[in-house]
Every structure is written in C-alpha cells, then in structure tokens.
Amino acid sequence: MIRFNQVNKTYPGGFVALNNVNFSLAAGEMAFLTGHSGAGKSTLLKLMSLMEKPTSGTVHINGVDLSKVTYKQIPFIRRGIGMIFQNHNLLMDRTVFDNVALPLVIEGFSHKETKKRVEAALEKVHLSSKLRCFPHMLSGGEQQRVGIARALVNKPPILLADEPTGNLDPKLSLEIIKLFEEFNDLGVAVLIATHDLGLIARLKYRTLTLKQGAMINDGLMEGLQGVHDDA
C-alpha cells in the first residue's frame, strides 16, 4: 500500500530532511508517525502525495512507483490518498455539504451520486444534522470531522493525517482517532503524523519515529524519552 525503499530527501540548499528511510504500511494497517519538530514528518507525507520528490530511493503508493508517474497522472494518484490537515483547510464561504462534495465535483460525479455519497460520508462522521451549516457555525472538533468526511468521500484506500488533533483537547482528539479506527476497520490504511505522545502512549499502535530525518524506531513505543529532545 505504502512502501519507502532507501528514501533520501535533500532540499535545495543542502538540508537533509530524510536519510535512508525504509518502511511499509500494508492495506488496512494503522500507524502513528512521530518525531521532533523538523524531523521530517511532513516531508515524508509530501513525498507520498507527490508534493515533493525524493532525491534518491523509491516510494510506492497503491502499487505504483511514484518516480514513474507523469505530470498528467498526478491527480489520479492523489485520488487514492485522503489527506487531513491540522487546520482542515475548509472553504469558509461554502456549506458543510459543499465542502465534502468538492472532491466529487472535481471528479465529475453526477448530482444524484454526489448527494448520496456526501450524505453517507457525513453520517459516518456523525454530522448528518449539520449539512447546511457553514464551517464557522461548527466547533473545532466538528470542523475537523468535516475535513475527514471530505478526505474520505471518494473512498481512497489510504488516509494520511498531518497533526489532525493539534488544535483539539484530549477528549476530542480521542474522538477523532476513534473515527480513524472506524475507517481503518473498513480497510483504509491510516498514517497519522503527530507530536502528541500522550495519544500515542494511550493507543498502542505501531509507531514510526523520525529523528533528524532517520527512522529510529518502528514498532510499539516502550520508552518515549529522547524522541523530542532536540525539538
């Protein structure tokens, strides 16, 4: 589903953001990605979504070697990945329905099919009653759930989340993770980049840890000391 093989990323200017990263995430797996600020978490997510290219090494997503993807094919590859961000990037002048419908409108789905899918996605994130609301009428946790519905409305097999609980209190954070678990139970592979060591410690999922661009841990976290030392 996701496979990194000897991946290096050096940004123009010479900064080494990723150093020989190897890992894979199978279909239906769920894992955390953590590490200090600047460790390379966002860079790793950007390589998967074709926002950046590796300097060397290969990245496979849904069986496709991304180095072989042409410019024209990029939108098709991206459709296989749902992305969720800390600030959820909702369109504030559009309703909840329109925000969630956006990926389907871009893909050219009929109005009838769009309505069916948007209603189903909003039901999954428990927001059916808020369909006609504008984002400013919702709480932070509800806005994040709209972002999740939008990311998953076209049923991608992979979900990538970059600090999805960054602005939320512990209770709401857990609710968001529970939603991810529900999608994971349906077979979606989920990778969650987070600084939230409390969340990681409570949930006992596989945890990939980056330190200065190198993958220093891959597995359940036992002791978390040292990971965020150089933050």
Residues in contact with ligand ATP by CB under 6 A are 11, 13, 15, 17, 35, 37-43
The answer to whether 10 touches 17, Cβ cutoff 8 Å, is yes
In the bound state with ligand ATP, the residue whose beta carbon lies nearer, of 10 and 58, is 10
For 31-40, give one letter per residue: b (16+ CB within 10 A) or e.
bbbbbbeebb
Smallest distance from ligand ATP to CB 193, Å? 7
In the bound state with ligand ATP, the residue whose beta carbon lies nearer, of 17 and 190, is 17
In the bound state with ligand ATP, the residue whose beta carbon lies nearer, of 38 and 157, is 38
Smallest distance from ligand ATP to CB 18, Å? 8
Taking the C-alpha atoms of residue 80 and residue 69, their distance in angstroms, rounded to an integer, is 14
In the bound state with ligand ATP, the residue whose beta carbon lies nearer, of 41 and 117, is 41
Smallest distance from ligand ATP to CB 155, Å? 27
Smallest distance from ligand ATP to CB 105, Å? 30
Q: How many CA atoms lie within 13 A of 154 on its CB side?
A: 20
Alpha carbon distance, N-terminus to C-terminus of the chain = 31
Angle at 95 between CA 108 and CA 80, to 5 degrees: 40
Smallest distance from ligand ATP to CB 196, Å? 11
The radius of gyration computed from the CA coordinates of the chain, to the nearest angstrom, equals: 18
In the bound state with ligand ATP, the residue whose beta carbon lies nearer, of 14 and 223, is 14
Smallest distance from ligand ATP to CB 31, Å? 16
In the bound state with ligand ATP, the residue whose beta carbon lies nearer, of 44 and 118, is 44
